[in-house]
């Protein structure tokens, strides 16, 4: 099993030193988020200052950028990192696309399918010199003069992973992506009963093998050196669950756990501006369904119970403001947990 951490995205100099610490403490990789800051810039700094860490956006919001722009960023980060970069993409929800970023919205599954396929068409043109010909409903690419072709890469095509919650997006991930990044607001039962069957539908369409497909995330890790640290982190996670569960796109997780009435209640609280009331509405049972909780000496067993056999990569931190401080010997134990994923295989 892999375990990823975060770095300070608000200060690139801190990100550089933190990346070195993350690597020296034995973590598998670093994840960045597209919320308050750009997700790509910190990874460039991390790539230049580390040697073995995998570097992943978790995730970059796809539709804000042309696939051509994203292809260039990913190409450069892959070369800078010597093949360690993973491009995580997600559609975000309609309101954020239209109201926060002022970009048009359309059904995300067919559009993201084209987005991923066009990325690979662009990369293949750059690597092989074949003409660029991609004609879709949402994206069309047919012009690539030599002056705009980057230097060839000596590394694999950048693996593309997709954020997914609902059945259609999960099936799409299994069909066209190299992995899926599950939302932290998730339960092991939801992964087993809803996520894996939909991914399998996608695998059947594409011929993808589970051993070449990486499943990341799918829950929180709540740990600390003592009970006070664990309890403080648990309350932070309780609020995050309330925040996420207020969004209709994530209600299938609530419904699957028998909390179908909770989502609309939380949604009303956000519309009334009562953000501080979200956490108190999240019961302990739901908190424990969504998180592996325990002091450092117990958390490995909790991670095994919560994630083993279901996911390949766990996120030790879900916010750059709260990087994980798990002792290196515990990180090593987590990495020894078996997982189905072996290696990415290029899709072209």
Instruction: Summarize pLDDT for 215-273 with one digit per residue, the tens.
Output: 999 999 999 999 999 999 999 999 999 999 999 999 999 999 999 999 999 999 999 99
Q: Give the pLDDT mean for 283-297.
A: 98
Query: Is the per-residue pLDDT at 296 higher than 70?
Result: yes
What tens digit of pLDDT does each residue of 66-92 get? 999 999 999 999 999 999 999 999 999
> Mean pLDDT, the chain, as a whole number?
98
| CA atoms of 203 and 199, how far apart (whole Å) | 6
Listed residue (256, 253, 235) closest to 244, CA to CA: 253
Residues 6+ apart with CB under 8 A from 62: 70, 89, 90, 91, 112, 115
The helix or strand, by DSSP H or E, that contains position 197, with its residue range, turns out to be helix 196-206
Q: Is the dihedral of CA 135, 140, 142, 145 positive or negative?
A: negative
Cis peptide before 38 (omega within 30 of 0): no
Tokens of 248: 């209709």
Tokens of 56: 């992943």
| CA atoms of 155 and 167, how far apart (whole Å) | 33
Query: Is the per-residue pLDDT at 330 higher than 60?
Result: yes
What tens digit of pLDDT does each residue of 172-213 get? 999 999 999 999 999 999 999 999 999 999 999 999 999 999
Determine the distance from the C-alpha atom of residue 207 to the mean position of all C-alpha atoms in its chain, rounded to a whole number: 23
Query: Is the per-residue pLDDT at 348 higher than 70?
Result: no
Q: Give the pLDDT mean for 118-133.
A: 98
- Contact of 9 with 15, CB cutoff 8 Å: yes
Listed residue (273, 279, 292) closest to 236, CA to CA: 279
- Contact of 171 with 196, CB cutoff 8 Å: no
% of the chain surpassing 90 pLDDT: 99
Q: Give the pLDDT mean for 288-314.
A: 98
- Write the burial class of residue 116 (CB in 10 Å: 0-12 exposed, 13-18 middle, 19+ buried): buried
Tokens of 195: 């996520």
| CA atoms of 112 and 289, how far apart (whole Å) | 30
pLDDT at site 346: 79
What tens digit of pLDDT does each residue of 26-68 get? 999 999 999 999 999 999 999 999 999 999 999 999 999 999 9
| CA atoms of 198 and 109, how far apart (whole Å) | 14
Q: Give the pLDDT mean for 157-185.
A: 98
CB atoms closer than 10 angstroms to residue 21: 13
Q: Give the pLDDT mean for 303-321.
A: 97
Phi, psi (rounded to 5 degrees) for 139 = -135, 135
Determine the 3-state secondary structure of 222 from DSSP: strand
pLDDT at site 36: 96
- Contact of 50 with 26, CB cutoff 8 Å: no
């Amino acid at each position: 099993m892999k375990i990823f951490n975060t770095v300070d995205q608000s200060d690139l100099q801190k990100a550089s030193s933190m990346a070195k610490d993350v690597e020296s403490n034995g973590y598998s990789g670093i994840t960045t988020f597209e919320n308050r800051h750009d997700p790509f810039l910190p990874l460039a700094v991390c790539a230049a200052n580390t040697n073995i860490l995998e570097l992943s956006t978790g995730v970059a919001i796809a539709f804000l950028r042309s696939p051509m722009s994203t292809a260039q960023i990913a190409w450069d980060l892959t070369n800078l990192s010597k093949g360690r970069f993973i491009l995580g993409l997600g559609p975000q929800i309609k309101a954020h696309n239209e109201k926060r970023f002022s970009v048009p919205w359309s059904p995300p599954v067919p559009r993201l399918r084209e987005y991923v396929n066009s990325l690979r068409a662009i990369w293949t043109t750059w690597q092989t010199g074949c003409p660029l010909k991609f004609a879709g409903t949402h994206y069309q690419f047919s012009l690539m003069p030599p002056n705009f072709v980057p230097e060839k890469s000596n590394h694999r095509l950048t693996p593309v992973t997709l954020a997914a919650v609902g059945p259609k997006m999960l099936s799409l991930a299994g069909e066209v992506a190299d992995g899926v990044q599950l939302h932290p607001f998730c339960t092991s039962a939801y992964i087993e009963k809803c996520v894996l069957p939909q991914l399998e539908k996608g695998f059947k369409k594409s011929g993808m093998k589970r051993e070449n497909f990486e499943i990341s995330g799918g829950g929180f890790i709540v740990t600390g050196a003592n009970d006070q640290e664990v309890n403080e982190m648990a309350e932070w996670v309780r609020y995050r669950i309330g925040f996420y569960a207020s969004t209709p796109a994530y209600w299938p997780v609530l419904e699957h756990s028998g909390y179908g009435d909770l989502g609309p209640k939380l949604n009303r609280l956000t519309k009334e501006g009562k953000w501080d009331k979200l956490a108190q509405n999240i019961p302990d049972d739901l908190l424990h369904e969504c998180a592996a909780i325990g002091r450092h000496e117990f958390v490995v067993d909790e991670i095994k119970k919560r994630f083993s056999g279901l996911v390949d990569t766990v996120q030790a931190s879900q916010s750059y403001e709260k990087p994980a401080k798990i002792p290196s010997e515990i990180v090593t134990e987590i990495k020894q947990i078996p997982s189905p994923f072996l290696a990415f295989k290029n899709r072209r």
